[in-house]
Structure 1
Amino acid sequence: MNSIPRLNKFFLISIIFGLSSIIGVTSAIQPLYTILFMVACIGFIVFVFLLKDPTKLLLTATVFLPFTSVISIIVGGAKLSIPDALIIFLGFILLIRGIFKANKFNLTREHKRVIISYIFLLIFSLLFSVLCFYKVKGNILVLPSWAGSYNSIVIGSVVANFRLIVPLIVLVAVPLLIKNEKDFHKILKHFIAGSFIATCYGLYEFVIKTAGLGFSYLLPGHAQGVLFFGDGKVRLSGTFGEPSYFAGFIVLSIFICVYAKKLRVLPKFVLNIMILLHLIVLLFTYSTGGYLALLVGTLVYLFYSGKVKFFVSIYFLALLAVVLVLFVPTVTEVVQKPFDNSTGQMGSSTDRSNTASAAINMFKDSPIYGIGYGNFSFLYNHYRPATAIYKSDPSIANNVYADFISSYGLIGLLLLLIIFVQFKRSLKKIRIHTRTEYPFFIGAIFTILVVYMAYPTFSYAFQWVFYSILLMRSDLLKKPTV
């Protein structure tokens, strides 16, 4: 009986001795090889550890969800963010586990349909992205100045499509690894922890930019330009590189914090401080879309929380909004910003209008299957409005709805409708099981729908973590708490 532990101890000592000998010899001959060998050993140990318990990797990725721009790496000419890298690694871990050990899924019918529909969207997206490019490239006589060659455009489009695998991995990983109420609380805690870090970084950014200390004090990959609003007010872009994108995350995080307070995931005092910090950072983004998303989401949340509370709240919110618009110049400027065309073609509102018009023109030209995801920049100048200037830099639709209809056409919209119906059914189940949680989810959904009007893509991992939580919540509510 004692021979087995002794044998394991002998093997462990032998391995340690062998590794020490290899490191000692190589350090004397080739120090670089020693470093590479040690990195490989550490990587192997981490891989084995995560292979045994990939939940740790999911929770780590959840903390880093807002790091979409800073501390990114360039792979194959494309930027790879920390959350994308961690989630793709998580997908690889789950794939290896699936080969040697069957993964036990406990998916609702709605969750299965979302995963299947999204897989079809991925296949359709990649195929038609390439096919549509070769179909229309003959019409583009002059390559855009930012494109090196036709091949580089195709490669960029394929890379853009490959990144769409991130939401699929999230949809699979969350129900696989979050199996009970305790795990559910854990992922909420880690989401809030990540939003706290991003919020603190936003406040730090405000101090650095206001003091004029320079970008060397900010994280690598931070937007290299100070964005101003009105008469010189600093706008915060945080870990997202763009104020509107940062604001979209902050608004969703506010709803997550309110929801966590309802479930008592963390002390109320802590969550109240979190919500206050979120609101301060959101204010300094000066994002009209962010402000509107919070307002719409709050009204929807109050409406479904109770009629009396809704009508009393909407009265005071309307009164507060009128006072702010009339007597606070900054608020007035934020409200007027989407309608301001005083800066001509360089203005944000004009650019959004031009890109949306181009997307509609693309949809009209190819309504069934679109122009292919990743081809918008290549075709923008060909489809831009007559009044819009020629763009020498890559352009994005900057509106998820416009980008989607131009990229995928009616086929993509059909798949999107199937996914939307499953979300609606999951919301209905949550409402049946617990009316107190339903308002949080429906309010958060509406904030995302508003935010999408000024967002570049639907593939941000933090939103799909929320979607996965929504899809699996109805199933968890049916299970007895342990």
Structure 2
Amino acid sequence: MTINAVISEPKDQPIKNLIFKWFLISIPFSQALTINISFPLKIAEVLLVFLISFEVTTRGILKWHLDKTVTWVLFSFVMLIIISMIVNIFYSYPYELAQNVTRLGPVFDTVFKFFYILLAICSLFITRHLFNADQRNISFFFIGAIASASYAWYLFVSGILKIPVLLLPGMDANSQVYDVGFGDIIRSGTFREGNYMGFYLLVAGILAVYYKYSKLSIFFFASIITTFSTTAIFCSVLFFVICLFHKYKKHKFKLVASLVFIFATIILLVQVSPGIKTLLYNKVFGSEDTVENSNDIFSKADRLNTVLVSMEIVADNPILGVGPANFGLHFSHYNLGVDFEQDVKKIPNNIYMEILSECGGVTFLVFVFLLWIIFNYGRKKSYILGAGLLASFIYFFAFPTFTMLFIWVFLGIVLS
């Protein structure tokens, strides 16, 4: 099956199918091609709202069936978040909240994030529904991924050659860059950060392997280089290691040889390339005594600090948390004087801690149960999906938020 062969007019409900195709294509344009209206308004979000509205008015939403267990788990997840949101809107804390870091006030931010959560969950339902109808929709997901990855390579090569780049609408001069020693490279691609772009490319690569697009999978995994994301590189290696264990579990020599080759290559690259050493060693194992550039260890220290703050918040608010999008309001109170950009709204930078601290322990348990159900479903379909889901769930430990649409689209594809 080729991509060109499936770009044809669907047989039924052409409007719905057309909107969905463009939704899949536009998913990676999370910062590029957005309109700033106090927040980046994304094409994918607008199309998803249109798609949901179309399904509601035509009663197509009644066909969004899921396994009963998954449906009830998602329903419980949403209801618990609503309870957390309402309680925290009216609850008065015995200390001053950092309201200066909100967009338009705490209530607006928490309701707005809840809206994002609903959109994300709806994207799972509708993705599963329309992929059940036609698995060839994956081609349009790949078209968006190809466009996004190609632009990332354009930014990468332009940075190396030190030539001016054409920034897409929505991007600005403050786009996230990485100093490779001989030039600053914009590492965020079409997203806000390289970490976002890296996770998206990991998902695209996993799906390309699953759908047997070998050349595309190589392109997507290779494109992770342009993001300089340590987590994306680690999770990609983890994905391939798990796949190798499954593929060669009856061929011990091939398995050992493959693993030795992978790890020997990584060790060699770390030794000969300062840039790769920064990505794969300094950011993970580096300390002030072993690393010359303090920026190499800042990210690790910042993430560790937000996790510690999250744990303190959870200890005081174990059941319902502090409410969606409210972590930043409480950060300065629990930060204990550690100076990590106090004037900006902080986030946990860890999906598990995000849900624990903002939505509470009960919601967290429901979320973990949901991941367990999806993982079991995916691994029964294919060891590739099982490995991909496991790598993704590991990525959650270093990813800013669970509301990114491509995460829920990926889960919807797995469940289809």
Q: CA deviation at 1:405?
A: 1.2
Aligned AA (2:409): V
Decide which of 188, 195, 204 is 1:237's aligned counterpart: 188
Residue of structure 1 equivalent to 2:25:
63
Q: CA deviation at 1:207?
A: 3.8
CA distance in 2, matches of 1:330, 1:345: 10
Number of equivalenced pairs: 395
Against the structure 1 CA distance between its residues 147 and 275, is the aligned structure 2 distance closer, same or farther, given a 3 Å change threshold? closer
Aligned AA (2:284): P
Residue of structure 2 equivalent to 1:89:
50
Say whether 1:409 aligns with 2:360: yes
Say whether 1:393 aligns with 2:344: yes
Decide which of 126, 129, 147 is 2:85's aligned counterpart: 129
Decide which of 428, 431, 449 is 2:393's aligned counterpart: 449
Is the CA contact 1:344–1:350 (under 8 Å) kept in the aligned structure 2? no
Is the CA contact 1:376–1:395 (under 8 Å) kept in the aligned structure 2? yes
CA distance in 2, matches of 1:57, 1:448: 27
Say whether 1:326 aligns with 2:271: yes
Residue aligned with 1:228, SS: strand
Is the CA contact 2:101–2:328 (under 8 Å) kept in the aligned structure 1? no
Superposed, which structure 2 residues align to 1:269-280 within 5 Å? 271-272=214-215, 274-280=216-222
Residue aligned with 1:238, SS: coil
Is the CA contact 1:67–1:81 (under 8 Å) kept in the aligned structure 2? yes
Say whether 1:228 aligns with 2:178: yes
CA distance in 2, matches of 1:301, 1:345: 31
Against the structure 1 CA distance between its residues 278 and 153, is the aligned structure 2 distance closer, same or farther, given a 3 Å change threshold? same
Superposed, which structure 2 residues align to 1:77-476 within 5 Å? 77-98=38-59, 103-105=62-64, 107=66, 109=67, 112-140=68-96, 143-147=98-102, 152-180=105-133, 183-184=134-135, 186-210=136-160, 212=162, 214=164, 217-225=166-174, 227-233=177-183, 234-261=185-212, 271-272=214-215, 274-307=216-249, 308=251, 309-335=254-280, 336-340=282-286, 342=288, 343=294, 347-389=298-340, 391-427=342-378, 429-430=380-381, 438-472=382-416
Against the structure 1 CA distance between its residues 284 and 344, is the aligned structure 2 distance closer, same or farther, given a 3 Å change threshold? closer
Aligned-residue sequence identity (percent) comes to: 21
Residue of structure 2 equivalent to 1:22:
none
Aligned AA (1:68): S
Is the CA contact 1:129–1:374 (under 8 Å) kept in the aligned structure 2? no
Structure of higher CA gyration radius: 1
Question: Can you give the 5+ residue segments of structure 2 that lack an aligned partner in the other structure?
Answer: 1-10, 289-293
CA distance in 1, matches of 2:229, 2:127: 31
Is the CA contact 2:235–2:395 (under 8 Å) kept in the aligned structure 1? yes
**TM superposition score normalised by structure 1:** 0.75
Is the CA contact 1:117–1:419 (under 8 Å) kept in the aligned structure 2? yes
Q: Deviation per CA, 1:289-317: give whole Å up to 9, x if none.
A: 11101011111111122312433321211
> Which stretch of the first structure deviates more once superposed, 361-370 or 327-336?
327-336
Q: Deviation per CA, 1:183-230: give whole Å up to 9, x if none.
A: 11x222111111100011112222444455556x21122253351235
Q: CA deviation at 1:390?
A: 6.3
Q: CA deviation at 1:244?
A: 1.4
Residue of structure 2 equivalent to 1:15:
none
Q: Deviation per CA, 1:164-191: give whole Å up to 9, x if none.
A: 11222122212332335xx11x222111
Is the CA contact 1:66–1:249 (under 8 Å) kept in the aligned structure 2? yes
Q: What is the CA RMSD across the aligned residues, in angstroms? A: 2.7
Aligned AA (2:402): F
Residue aligned with 1:163, SS: helix
CA distance in 2, matches of 1:390, 1:200: 33
Against the structure 1 CA distance between its residues 344 and 291, is the aligned structure 2 distance closer, same or farther, given a 3 Å change threshold? closer
Aligned AA (1:104): K
Against the structure 1 CA distance between its residues 232 and 380, is the aligned structure 2 distance closer, same or farther, given a 3 Å change threshold? farther
Q: CA deviation at 1:325?
A: 2.0
CA distance in 2, matches of 1:372, 1:105: 29
Against the structure 1 CA distance between its residues 192 and 345, is the aligned structure 2 distance closer, same or farther, given a 3 Å change threshold? closer
Is the CA contact 2:189–2:197 (under 8 Å) kept in the aligned structure 1? yes
Runs of 4+ in 1 over 6 A off after TM superposition: none
Aligned AA (2:237): L
Q: Whose helix fraction is larger, Structure 1's or Structure 2's?
A: 1
Residue aligned with 1:392, SS: coil
Is the CA contact 1:254–1:275 (under 8 Å) kept in the aligned structure 2? yes
Against the structure 1 CA distance between its residues 428 and 332, is the aligned structure 2 distance closer, same or farther, given a 3 Å change threshold? closer
Q: CA deviation at 1:246?
A: 0.7
CA distance in 2, matches of 1:52, 1:199: 28
